[in-house]
Amino acid sequence: MLQIQEVTKVYEGKVTTRALNQLSFEVEKGEFVAVMGPSGSGKTTLLNLISMIDVPTSGDIVFNGKRPRQLNSKELAYFRRRQLGFIFQDFNLLPMLTVEENIILPLTLDEQPVELMEDRLAALAEKLGLENILQKRPNEISGGQAQRTAIARALIHSPSLILADEPTGNLDSNASREVLELMSQINQEKQTTIMMVTHDPIAASYCDRVIFIKDGEFFNEIYGDERRQTFFQRILNVLSLLGGQVGDFSTIRLP
Ligand SMILES: Nc1ncnc2c1ncn2[C@@H]1O[C@H](COP(=O)(O)OP(=O)(O)OP(=O)(O)O)[C@@H](O)[C@H]1O
Ligand SMILES: [Mg+2]
């Protein structure tokens, strides 16, 4: 459903930075893919290109057979609103709105009928365990609840692709596990394709495949197997080849 074809992104400025260099890979519909790589390797840049926040310097991105580059601005806005869902490290909830209002915001912007909003809201609130906090505001809920709210918001319009940038970066290990299990469940039940940037090998071990990039280039990829523990070990092995911020993960055991 997603093809990244020899994508290069160069940021011009005082110093010119080649953030991505001839990067190519494909993502199948229904896959849950992690993208890992050292700080500065181009991961956020890649998500920004896929979500059309920014355009490649060269190369192409094909999404469900379309090249979003060729859409006009109105088509592009529609495409982004309908096809994509976003989950960020810092949740990005609007502080003035309640949890409920934050979740239905994409539908409100799309002027969808109230009944549809209520149905979808009820279903997601139940699934994500948000029923008792719908009237609260973001500063009155925990980090895990905030991220589950953001996931509900990303899902409310049934996007075909969810892009997540370090979704567990601000969560403790219990809340992380909850969020990852939910993402994995949504991926399996709804066949929603998910692409998740993460530094955390435990988070990556929930995915079907991990793509590693280094200095803006494809470095390696590995596929998961039946056991998350062995996949986790294999992820650590590639990270140690990759260098950078790998540190002391090797002694971690999965909970
Ligand atoms: N808007 C920008 N203008 C200029 N250079 C940029 C811009 N955004 C990113 N870069 C540079 O491009 C490279 C890739 O940055 P990017 O944010 O994609 O890295 P990353 O892999 O997401 O890193 P991290 O793990 O720290 O979030 C870096 O060298 C960065 O300094
Ligand atoms: Mg980043």
C-alpha 172: how far from its chain's center? 18
37 lines ligand 1 (CB under 6 A): yes
H-helix or E-strand containing 182? helix 173-190
Q: How far is the CA of 134 from the centre of ligand 2 (A)?
A: 30
Local structure of 170: helix, strand or coil: coil
Which residue among 45, 90, 195 has the greatest number of ligand 1 atoms within 8 angstroms of its CB, and so is best to mutate?
45
Ligand 1 binding pocket includes 41 (Cβ within 6 Å)? yes
Of all atoms in ligand 1, which is nearest to the CA of residue 41? 21
Write out the chain's pLDDT in tens, 255 residues.
Answer: 999 999 999 999 899 999 999 999 999 999 999 999 999 999 999 999 998 888 999 999 999 888 877 888 888 888 888 889 999 888 899 999 999 999 999 888 888 888 988 999 999 999 889 999 999 999 999 999 999 999 999 989 889 999 999 999 888 888 889 889 989 999 999 899 999 999 999 999 999 999 999 999 999 999 998 899 999 999 999 999 987 654 445 445 555
By the 10 Å C-beta count (0-12 exposed, 13-18 middle, 19+ buried), 49 is classed as buried
Instruction: Cite the beta strand spans of 100-174 per DSSP E.
Output: 161-165
- CATH code of the domain made up of 2-251: 3.40.50.300
The label of the residue with tokens 């009155």 reads: 140
Q: Whose CA is nearest to atom 2 of ligand 1?
A: 11
Q: How many residues are present in the chain?
A: 255
pLDDT of residue 252: 53
Answer whether 160 contacts ligand 1 (Cβ < 6 A). no
**Confidence (pLDDT) at 250:** 46
Compute how many other C-beta atoms are within 10 angstroms of the C-beta atom of residue 124. Answer: 21
Please state, in angstroms and rounded to a whole number, the distance separating the CA atoms of residues 7 and 14.
Answer: 22
What is the DSSP pairing of strand 32-36 with strand 2-11?
A: unpaired
Q: Please give the pLDDT value at position 70.
A: 80
User: Cβ(117)–Cβ(106) under 8 Å?
Assistant: no
The ranges assigned to domains in the chain are: 2-251
**Strand-pair partners of 9:** 20
Residues 6+ apart with CB under 8 A from 247: none
Residue 179, pLDDT score: 87
Ligand 2 mean position to 11 CA, how many Å?
A: 15
- The residues with which 161 forms a beta bridge, in sequence order, are 84, 193
Q: Please tell me the predicted confidence (pLDDT) of residue 132.
A: 96
Tokens of 34: 């992690």
Q: Which is the closest atom of ligand 1 to the Cα of 166?
A: 27
